[in-house]
Structure 1
Protein backbone atom coordinates (compact mmCIF):
# COMPACT_ATOMS: atom_id res chain seq x y z
CA UNK A 1 0.00 0.00 0.00
CA UNK A 2 1.35 3.40 -0.93
CA UNK A 3 1.53 6.45 1.32
CA UNK A 4 -0.20 9.72 0.58
CA UNK A 5 2.18 12.56 1.44
CA UNK A 6 1.52 16.26 1.79
CA UNK A 7 4.94 17.76 1.00
CA UNK A 8 5.04 21.53 0.80
CA UNK A 9 7.04 24.61 1.65
CA UNK A 10 5.54 26.96 4.21
CA UNK A 11 6.39 30.31 5.71
CA UNK A 12 7.26 30.41 9.39
CA UNK A 13 3.77 31.81 10.06
CA UNK A 14 2.03 28.90 8.27
CA UNK A 15 1.32 30.14 4.76
CA UNK A 16 1.85 28.47 1.39
CA UNK A 17 1.51 31.64 -0.68
CA UNK A 18 1.20 35.32 0.02
CA UNK A 19 -1.89 37.42 -0.57
CA UNK A 20 -1.01 37.74 -4.28
CA UNK A 21 -0.39 33.96 -4.61
CA UNK A 22 3.31 34.70 -5.11
CA UNK A 23 5.80 32.08 -3.94
CA UNK A 24 8.92 34.09 -4.79
CA UNK A 25 9.87 33.97 -1.10
CA UNK A 26 10.30 30.16 -1.25
CA UNK A 27 12.90 29.75 -3.99
CA UNK A 28 15.16 26.89 -2.87
CA UNK A 29 18.94 27.03 -3.06
CA UNK A 30 20.85 24.11 -4.58
CA UNK A 31 21.04 22.18 -1.29
CA UNK A 32 17.29 22.49 -0.71
CA UNK A 33 16.62 21.57 -4.35
CA UNK A 34 18.68 18.39 -4.01
CA UNK A 35 16.82 17.56 -0.79
CA UNK A 36 13.45 18.10 -2.53
CA UNK A 37 14.56 15.73 -5.29
CA UNK A 38 15.46 13.05 -2.75
CA UNK A 39 12.06 13.40 -1.06
CA UNK A 40 10.02 13.44 -4.30
CA UNK A 41 11.84 10.65 -6.14
CA UNK A 42 9.64 7.89 -4.56
CA UNK A 43 6.45 9.72 -5.57
CA UNK A 44 4.88 8.23 -8.68
CA UNK A 45 1.59 10.14 -8.72
CA UNK A 46 0.89 13.79 -7.95
CA UNK A 47 -2.59 15.02 -7.02
CA UNK A 48 -2.88 18.68 -7.98
CA UNK A 49 -5.35 21.49 -7.73
CA UNK A 50 -5.65 23.71 -10.80
CA UNK A 51 -3.46 26.60 -9.61
CA UNK A 52 -0.52 24.45 -8.55
CA UNK A 53 -0.78 22.33 -11.72
CA UNK A 54 -0.61 25.45 -13.86
CA UNK A 55 2.47 26.59 -11.92
CA UNK A 56 4.14 23.16 -12.04
CA UNK A 57 3.64 22.38 -15.71
CA UNK A 58 6.66 24.58 -16.49
CA UNK A 59 8.71 21.49 -15.55
CA UNK A 60 7.62 19.92 -18.84
CA UNK A 61 9.91 22.48 -20.53
CA UNK A 62 12.57 23.21 -17.88
CA UNK A 63 14.83 25.04 -20.34
CA UNK A 64 12.59 28.11 -19.89
CA UNK A 65 13.23 28.20 -16.11
CA UNK A 66 15.58 31.08 -15.24
CA UNK A 67 18.74 30.00 -13.41
CA UNK A 68 18.26 26.31 -14.25
CA UNK A 69 20.67 24.27 -12.12
CA UNK A 70 21.48 20.55 -12.41
CA UNK A 71 19.26 19.99 -9.33
CA UNK A 72 16.31 21.73 -10.99
CA UNK A 73 16.89 19.74 -14.20
CA UNK A 74 16.79 16.55 -12.13
CA UNK A 75 13.53 17.71 -10.54
CA UNK A 76 12.10 18.23 -14.03
CA UNK A 77 12.96 14.62 -14.96
CA UNK A 78 11.36 13.32 -11.74
CA UNK A 79 8.24 15.42 -12.38
CA UNK A 80 7.94 14.39 -16.03
CA UNK A 81 8.15 10.68 -15.17
CA UNK A 82 5.33 10.82 -12.61
CA UNK A 83 1.62 10.51 -13.24
CA UNK A 84 -0.49 13.55 -12.46
CA UNK A 85 -4.16 13.88 -11.58
CA UNK A 86 -5.50 17.44 -11.76
CA UNK A 87 -8.71 18.35 -9.94
CA UNK A 88 -10.45 21.31 -11.56
CA UNK A 89 -13.93 22.42 -12.45
CA UNK A 90 -12.65 25.18 -14.72
CA UNK A 91 -10.05 23.40 -16.88
CA UNK A 92 -11.35 21.65 -19.96
CA UNK A 93 -8.11 19.84 -20.80
CA UNK A 94 -4.61 19.28 -19.45
CA UNK A 95 -1.54 19.88 -21.56
CA UNK A 96 1.14 17.62 -20.08
CA UNK A 97 1.79 13.91 -20.69
CA UNK A 98 0.90 11.35 -18.02
CA UNK A 99 -1.83 13.69 -16.78
CA UNK A 100 -5.55 13.21 -16.40
CA UNK A 101 -8.26 15.64 -15.40
CA UNK A 102 -10.87 14.97 -12.73
CA UNK A 103 -13.78 17.35 -12.23
CA UNK A 104 -14.33 16.56 -8.55
CA UNK A 105 -12.35 15.14 -5.67
CA UNK A 106 -13.49 11.60 -4.85
CA UNK A 107 -12.03 10.26 -1.57
CA UNK A 108 -12.82 6.67 -2.52
CA UNK A 109 -10.87 6.95 -5.76
CA UNK A 110 -7.84 8.14 -3.76
CA UNK A 111 -8.28 5.27 -1.27
CA UNK A 112 -8.31 2.88 -4.22
CA UNK A 113 -5.15 4.47 -5.65
CA UNK A 114 -3.40 4.09 -2.29
CA UNK A 115 -4.34 0.41 -2.18
CA UNK A 116 -3.32 -0.32 -5.78
CA UNK A 117 -0.24 1.77 -6.59
CA UNK A 118 3.27 0.49 -5.90
CA UNK A 119 4.64 4.01 -5.32
CA UNK A 120 3.82 6.95 -3.07
CA UNK A 121 1.29 9.67 -3.89
CA UNK A 122 1.70 13.37 -3.19
CA UNK A 123 -0.96 16.05 -2.85
CA UNK A 124 -0.28 19.68 -3.65
CA UNK A 125 -2.41 22.78 -3.69
CA UNK A 126 -3.96 24.22 -0.55
CA UNK A 127 -7.63 23.67 -1.44
CA UNK A 128 -7.14 20.11 -2.64
CA UNK A 129 -4.84 19.31 0.28
CA UNK A 130 -7.51 20.57 2.69
CA UNK A 131 -10.06 18.18 1.15
CA UNK A 132 -7.61 15.26 1.31
CA UNK A 133 -6.71 16.10 4.93
CA UNK A 134 -10.37 16.39 5.95
CA UNK A 135 -11.06 13.01 4.33
CA UNK A 136 -8.35 11.48 6.54
CA UNK A 137 -6.23 10.33 3.61
CA UNK A 138 -2.86 11.92 4.39
CA UNK A 139 -0.38 9.45 5.87
CA UNK A 140 2.56 11.82 6.21
CA UNK A 141 3.04 15.57 6.40
CA UNK A 142 6.41 16.79 5.12
CA UNK A 143 6.81 20.52 5.69
CA UNK A 144 9.71 22.68 4.56
CA UNK A 145 9.65 25.72 6.83
CA UNK A 146 11.16 28.70 5.04
CA UNK A 147 12.68 31.48 7.17
CA UNK A 148 10.17 34.04 5.97
CA UNK A 149 6.98 35.49 7.45
CA UNK A 150 4.19 36.47 5.06
CA UNK A 151 1.64 37.87 7.49
CA UNK A 152 -1.27 36.47 5.47
CA UNK A 153 -2.24 34.55 2.37
CA UNK A 154 -3.09 30.92 1.67
CA UNK A 155 -2.76 28.68 4.72
CA UNK A 156 -0.80 25.45 4.44
CA UNK A 157 -3.15 23.58 6.77
CA UNK A 158 -6.94 23.87 6.92
CA UNK A 159 -8.86 25.31 9.85
CA UNK A 160 -10.99 23.16 12.14
CA UNK A 161 -9.04 19.93 11.64
CA UNK A 162 -7.65 17.99 14.56
CA UNK A 163 -5.12 15.23 13.85
CA UNK A 164 -2.71 13.51 16.22
CA UNK A 165 0.78 13.41 14.68
CA UNK A 166 4.03 11.61 15.43
CA UNK A 167 7.33 13.33 14.57
CA UNK A 168 9.42 11.09 12.28
CA UNK A 169 12.23 13.42 11.21
CA UNK A 170 13.52 16.96 11.59
CA UNK A 171 16.58 18.65 10.13
CA UNK A 172 18.08 21.91 8.98
CA UNK A 173 18.77 22.26 5.29
CA UNK A 174 19.89 25.02 2.97
CA UNK A 175 19.88 28.61 4.04
CA UNK A 176 17.88 28.32 7.26
CA UNK A 177 15.15 26.01 5.95
CA UNK A 178 13.84 23.36 8.36
CA UNK A 179 12.34 20.02 7.30
CA UNK A 180 9.65 18.47 9.49
CA UNK A 181 8.15 15.05 8.79
CA UNK A 182 5.11 13.75 10.68
CA UNK A 183 3.01 10.60 10.45
CA UNK A 184 -0.68 10.66 11.18
CA UNK A 185 -1.59 8.58 14.23
CA UNK A 186 -5.31 8.70 13.40
Structure 2
Protein backbone atom coordinates (compact mmCIF):
# COMPACT_ATOMS: atom_id res chain seq x y z
CA UNK A 1 0.00 0.00 0.00
CA UNK A 2 1.25 3.46 -0.88
CA UNK A 3 1.93 6.14 1.72
CA UNK A 4 0.15 9.49 1.51
CA UNK A 5 2.71 12.15 2.38
CA UNK A 6 1.99 15.78 3.17
CA UNK A 7 4.96 17.71 1.84
CA UNK A 8 5.75 21.40 2.25
CA UNK A 9 8.54 23.93 2.25
CA UNK A 10 7.89 26.50 4.98
CA UNK A 11 9.44 29.32 6.91
CA UNK A 12 10.66 28.79 10.46
CA UNK A 13 7.54 30.59 11.68
CA UNK A 14 5.33 28.13 9.78
CA UNK A 15 4.30 29.79 6.51
CA UNK A 16 4.43 28.52 2.93
CA UNK A 17 3.89 32.02 1.52
CA UNK A 18 4.29 35.46 3.08
CA UNK A 19 1.57 38.11 3.45
CA UNK A 20 2.09 39.20 -0.18
CA UNK A 21 1.80 35.61 -1.43
CA UNK A 22 5.53 35.37 -2.16
CA UNK A 23 7.48 32.20 -1.54
CA UNK A 24 10.75 33.06 -3.28
CA UNK A 25 12.47 32.91 0.12
CA UNK A 26 11.78 29.15 0.06
CA UNK A 27 13.26 28.31 -3.34
CA UNK A 28 15.59 25.38 -2.65
CA UNK A 29 19.29 25.70 -3.31
CA UNK A 30 21.08 22.95 -5.25
CA UNK A 31 21.74 20.73 -2.23
CA UNK A 32 18.11 20.84 -1.07
CA UNK A 33 16.78 20.47 -4.61
CA UNK A 34 18.86 17.35 -5.22
CA UNK A 35 17.57 15.93 -1.94
CA UNK A 36 13.98 16.65 -3.00
CA UNK A 37 14.62 15.04 -6.39
CA UNK A 38 15.96 11.87 -4.77
CA UNK A 39 13.04 11.74 -2.34
CA UNK A 40 10.50 12.20 -5.11
CA UNK A 41 11.82 9.37 -7.27
CA UNK A 42 9.53 7.11 -5.24
CA UNK A 43 6.51 9.32 -6.02
CA UNK A 44 4.23 8.72 -8.97
CA UNK A 45 1.15 10.68 -7.86
CA UNK A 46 0.58 14.25 -6.70
CA UNK A 47 -2.65 15.53 -5.16
CA UNK A 48 -3.08 19.30 -5.43
CA UNK A 49 -5.58 22.00 -4.79
CA UNK A 50 -6.11 24.55 -7.55
CA UNK A 51 -3.70 27.22 -6.30
CA UNK A 52 -0.73 24.90 -5.76
CA UNK A 53 -1.41 23.24 -9.11
CA UNK A 54 -1.32 26.65 -10.80
CA UNK A 55 2.14 27.25 -9.29
CA UNK A 56 3.50 23.78 -10.01
CA UNK A 57 2.16 23.66 -13.58
CA UNK A 58 5.06 25.93 -14.64
CA UNK A 59 7.23 22.80 -14.52
CA UNK A 60 5.26 21.34 -17.42
CA UNK A 61 6.07 24.05 -19.97
CA UNK A 62 9.40 25.37 -18.65
CA UNK A 63 12.24 24.57 -21.03
CA UNK A 64 14.73 23.34 -18.44
CA UNK A 65 17.29 21.87 -20.84
CA UNK A 66 19.57 24.91 -20.41
CA UNK A 67 19.07 24.90 -16.62
CA UNK A 68 21.32 23.03 -14.18
CA UNK A 69 20.84 19.26 -14.29
CA UNK A 70 19.05 19.14 -10.92
CA UNK A 71 16.37 21.54 -12.22
CA UNK A 72 15.84 19.53 -15.41
CA UNK A 73 15.75 16.35 -13.32
CA UNK A 74 12.93 17.66 -11.13
CA UNK A 75 10.98 18.90 -14.15
CA UNK A 76 11.17 15.45 -15.72
CA UNK A 77 10.09 13.74 -12.49
CA UNK A 78 7.14 16.11 -12.17
CA UNK A 79 6.05 15.80 -15.79
CA UNK A 80 6.05 11.99 -15.64
CA UNK A 81 4.00 11.79 -12.44
CA UNK A 82 0.22 11.52 -12.40
CA UNK A 83 -1.51 14.54 -10.94
CA UNK A 84 -4.99 14.90 -9.47
CA UNK A 85 -6.24 18.46 -9.00
CA UNK A 86 -9.18 19.11 -6.71
CA UNK A 87 -11.05 22.12 -8.02
CA UNK A 88 -14.63 23.18 -8.61
CA UNK A 89 -13.60 25.93 -11.02
CA UNK A 90 -10.94 24.33 -13.20
CA UNK A 91 -12.51 22.40 -16.07
CA UNK A 92 -9.51 21.18 -18.04
CA UNK A 93 -5.92 20.55 -16.96
CA UNK A 94 -3.12 22.57 -18.52
CA UNK A 95 -0.53 19.83 -17.96
CA UNK A 96 -0.02 16.25 -19.03
CA UNK A 97 -0.88 13.26 -16.85
CA UNK A 98 -3.44 15.36 -14.99
CA UNK A 99 -7.08 14.88 -14.13
CA UNK A 100 -9.49 17.22 -12.40
CA UNK A 101 -11.78 16.14 -9.56
CA UNK A 102 -14.41 18.51 -8.23
CA UNK A 103 -14.54 16.97 -4.75
CA UNK A 104 -12.09 15.36 -2.37
CA UNK A 105 -13.60 11.94 -1.66
CA UNK A 106 -11.76 10.04 1.05
CA UNK A 107 -12.74 6.62 -0.27
CA UNK A 108 -11.23 7.45 -3.67
CA UNK A 109 -7.93 8.31 -1.96
CA UNK A 110 -8.05 5.09 0.07
CA UNK A 111 -8.53 3.15 -3.16
CA UNK A 112 -5.64 5.01 -4.80
CA UNK A 113 -3.38 4.21 -1.84
CA UNK A 114 -4.36 0.55 -2.05
CA UNK A 115 -3.86 0.32 -5.81
CA UNK A 116 -0.44 1.91 -6.36
CA UNK A 117 3.00 0.85 -5.20
CA UNK A 118 4.61 4.30 -5.15
CA UNK A 119 4.18 7.12 -2.65
CA UNK A 120 1.57 9.83 -3.13
CA UNK A 121 2.34 13.46 -2.25
CA UNK A 122 -0.40 15.81 -1.15
CA UNK A 123 0.34 19.50 -1.26
CA UNK A 124 -1.40 22.52 0.21
CA UNK A 125 -2.62 22.88 3.79
CA UNK A 126 -6.35 23.04 3.00
CA UNK A 127 -6.30 19.85 0.96
CA UNK A 128 -4.02 18.20 3.52
CA UNK A 129 -6.45 19.16 6.30
CA UNK A 130 -9.17 17.14 4.58
CA UNK A 131 -6.83 14.16 4.27
CA UNK A 132 -5.70 14.47 7.91
CA UNK A 133 -9.31 14.60 9.14
CA UNK A 134 -10.05 11.40 7.20
CA UNK A 135 -7.01 9.62 8.67
CA UNK A 136 -5.36 9.31 5.25
CA UNK A 137 -2.00 11.01 5.85
CA UNK A 138 0.82 8.62 6.73
CA UNK A 139 3.75 11.06 6.85
CA UNK A 140 4.63 14.73 6.97
CA UNK A 141 7.81 15.74 5.18
CA UNK A 142 8.70 19.34 5.86
CA UNK A 143 11.61 21.47 4.78
CA UNK A 144 12.02 24.35 7.18
CA UNK A 145 13.77 27.38 5.70
CA UNK A 146 15.72 29.62 8.11
CA UNK A 147 13.64 32.74 7.57
CA UNK A 148 10.83 34.44 9.46
CA UNK A 149 8.17 35.97 7.23
CA UNK A 150 5.86 37.22 9.99
CA UNK A 151 2.58 36.05 8.50
CA UNK A 152 0.91 34.75 5.40
CA UNK A 153 -0.38 31.33 4.36
CA UNK A 154 0.14 28.79 7.12
CA UNK A 155 1.94 25.61 6.15
CA UNK A 156 0.15 23.33 8.59
CA UNK A 157 -3.62 23.09 8.61
CA UNK A 158 -5.80 24.47 11.37
CA UNK A 159 -8.30 22.21 13.07
CA UNK A 160 -6.23 19.04 12.78
CA UNK A 161 -5.26 16.96 15.78
CA UNK A 162 -2.52 14.43 15.06
CA UNK A 163 0.29 12.78 16.97
CA UNK A 164 3.56 12.54 15.08
CA UNK A 165 6.79 10.63 15.52
CA UNK A 166 10.04 12.06 14.15
CA UNK A 167 11.67 9.39 11.98
CA UNK A 168 14.26 11.37 10.01
CA UNK A 169 15.95 14.74 10.08
CA UNK A 170 18.66 16.36 8.05
CA UNK A 171 20.31 19.76 8.21
CA UNK A 172 21.55 21.30 4.97
CA UNK A 173 24.59 23.55 4.54
CA UNK A 174 22.41 26.61 3.91
CA UNK A 175 20.57 26.11 7.21
CA UNK A 176 17.37 24.49 5.94
CA UNK A 177 16.18 21.43 7.86
CA UNK A 178 14.28 18.42 6.58
CA UNK A 179 11.90 16.79 9.07
CA UNK A 180 10.07 13.56 8.36
CA UNK A 181 7.30 12.55 10.73
CA UNK A 182 5.20 9.41 10.78
CA UNK A 183 1.57 10.02 11.67
CA UNK A 184 0.64 7.82 14.61
CA UNK A 185 -2.76 6.09 14.74
**Once the two structures are superposed, what CA deviation does each residue of 1:112-152 show, in whole Å capped at 9, x if it has no partner?**
10011111100012211121122211101000000011111
Aligned length: 185
Conserved? CA contact 2:64–2:75, under 8 Å:
no
Q: C-alpha distance in 1, partners of 2:118/2:131?
A: 18
Following TM superposition, where does structure 1 have runs of at least 4 consecutive aligned residues deviating by more than 2 angstroms?
A: none
Structure 2: distance between partners of 1:100 and 1:116: 17
What displacement does 1:18 show? 1.1
Deviation readout 1:56-107 (Å, 9 max, x if unpaired): 1111123279x83211110001001100000011111111111000001111
Q: Is the 8 A contact 2:14 2:154 kept in 1?
A: yes
Aligned 1:27-176 pairs, distance under 5 A: 27-63=27-63, 68-176=67-175
The verdict on how the C-alpha distance between 1:31 and 1:4 changes in structure 2, with shifts beyond 3 A counting, is same
Structure 2 distance, partners of 1:184, 1:91, is: 31
- SS of equivalent residue, structure 1 residue 101: strand
> Given that residues 165 and 183 in structure 1 are in contact (C-alpha distance below 8 angstroms), is that contact kept between their aligned partners in structure 2?
yes
* SS class of match (2:165): strand
- Tell me if structure 2 keeps the 8 A contact 1:16–1:126: no
- Can you give the 5+ residue segments of structure 2 that lack an aligned partner in the other structure? none
Normalised TM-score (structure 1)? 0.95
Give the alignment's TM-score, normalised by structure 2: 0.95
Contact 2:129–2:160 (CA under 8 A) maintained in structure 1: no
- The equivalent of 1:13 in structure 2 is 13
Greater CA drift, 128-137 or 141-150: 128-137
> What RMSD, in angstroms, separates the aligned Cα atoms of the two structures?
1.4
- Contact 1:3 1:139 (C-alpha < 8 Å) held by counterparts: yes
